Amino acid sequence: MEKEVCGTCAHYRQHYVLGEGGKFWPLWHGHCHVPRCDKHPGPDQTCPHWKSRESESGK
């Protein structure tokens, strides 16, 4: 069972930084696509709008 935190939510988009050699590294925050929500949550945060990524993809 997946944890219901921002990092596993269908609305969450992880932010990355481009490092040496063209490799992308994840930052400790992302972006939430739910209106009027914390726009830069950490992946371990929670909110009442959590939605499984599987339900978003139609699985």
Q: Under a CB-based contact definition with an 8 Å cutoff, are residues 29 and 58 in contact?
A: no
Q: Spell out the per-residue pLDDT of the chain, length 59, in tens.
A: 678 998 899 999 999 999 999 999 999 888 888 887 767 788 898 888 899 988 766 55
Tell me, yes or no, if the pTM score tops 0.75. Answer: no
At residue 22, the pLDDT reads 95
pLDDT in the model for residue 18: 97
Residue 5 and residue 46 in contact, taking contact as beta carbons nearer than 8 Å? yes
Hey, is 55 helix, strand or coil?
helix
Give residue limits of the domains in the chain.
6-56
**23/12 Cα distance (integer angstroms):** 21
